[in-house]
Amino acid sequence: MRIDFNNMLDTAVGEHGITMAEVEAEAAKVPAVHAAMTAKKDEMAWRALPYNQDAIARDITDKGNWINDHFQNFVVLGIGGSALGSKALFTGTKHLRYNELKRAERAGCRFYVVDNVDPDGIQALFDIIDPAETCFHVISKSGNTVETMSQFMIVLHMLKETIGDDFMRNIVLTTDKETGILRNIANAYNMTPYVVPDGVGGRFSVLSPVGLVSAAVLGLDIQMLFEGARKADEKCTKSDLYENPAYMYAMLQTIAMHKGCNISVMMPYADGLANTAEWYAQLWAESLGKQYDLSGEIVHAGQTPVRALGVTDQHSQIQLYTEGPFDKVITFVGVENFDTVMPIPKPPIDVQDASYLEGQTLNKLIASELAATEYAVTQAGKMNMMVTLSELGPVELSEFLFFLEMATAAAGEFLGINAFDQPGVEAGKIATFALMGRSGYEEKAKELSSPKAQNDKFIFEL
């Protein structure tokens, strides 16, 4: 993995770029940031995941083999961090039409992730799979996630109707080691669930059983995932800013925020990385979007992540990025070596305007479009950076994911906020519990049902 930050600087983009004086001023915080990252390492249990899971990795690999031997489909039931990591691993490492391949051409089961409660979306999945031939991985660290529990209850009902008393054979659980509804269900049915370790929040959980069970079912070598993460960790724990890409990423993004760049665009030029950009959106938004800093002062920190896909979004968003406001940082992500080299053949008729393409490749075209877009936004004075992966595989992907986790944690230190809580999410959860009639939330339900002042002139019925 190669990361080039030069286009963040005023020497590349002009007056709206970052000056070396601004770099030096913010870099003065690096010793304190590094000290905090070092002191809090044990609290950030996700940082130990590439090192302390050899035994559980062997068990999960065996479980993945068993699932592939006994089922046709594998479905992840979860939301947020319980689902996004699996989606990133799936499309970031496997054939992009994986489920349509013949069984012999896949690692095993067809693979699906259900991360919403849209009834049409869930029914659409049930229209194409047989629950009796499906293993469901139910993931909720708290064990109380309303969306996941609703999905699970629907699945249990279907399994009981189709296969009877042996329905728990089709279920794998991952939850807290001691508490929560899923833990109680596991105890009632004498199951041994996988555990989300203490100190591993959902958005940092991809290298825990949350994502590793998916990896095993997909036939990925879990040790290769650990290898990539360890490679990133080696670089991202250095104290020197100019040797630590995570600190540099976090520091430059922080300076950009101070300069009014409140939007962080991740734009990979590979279909397989689209879900990685979605995973990043949760990681960056939920970690850094905070009302209060560590001293209790109101700061309203954060940067809105936007997912874009090259080349697709060159035809929908780049006009805004080049000529719109100076409120964005764009992270381009390129891939040097795709699995496929696809030549462009001769045009069907003699057309001079298309003849230049003959004999070239889509590989060169997508690389050229990336370079051209980077040039265009740089010329327009917009800050951007370039991440280049040598290829898409478990080592390269996990190295990238772990780098982003470290950069996010470091950004929290530069901003002086807690990157590991999510009080804004909890407020929405509490309101949902109240609206759904959960016991203990009656006062909140009463508050939500109170009449609201509104102006009918601003309501339209079409």
Active site residues: 286, 315, 429
Pick from 270, 416, 264: nearest CA to 338: 270
Those residues with Cβ within 8 angstroms of residue 178's Cβ, 6 or more apart along the chain or in another chain: none
Question: Contact at 8 Å (CB) between 333 and 391?
Answer: no
Pick from 363, 310, 273: nearest CA to 87: 273
CA distance 103 to 158: 25
Place of tokens 């947020």: 80
Pick from 32, 114, 33, 34: nearest CA to 73: 114
Pick from 46, 89, 79: nearest CA to 405: 46
Is the bond leading into 311 cis (omega within 30 degrees of zero)?
yes
- Bridge partner list, 134: 73
Question: For the chain, how far is it from start to end, CA to CA, in angstroms?
Answer: 52
Question: Contact at 8 Å (CB) between 113 and 90?
Answer: yes
Q: Say how many residues make up the chain.
A: 462
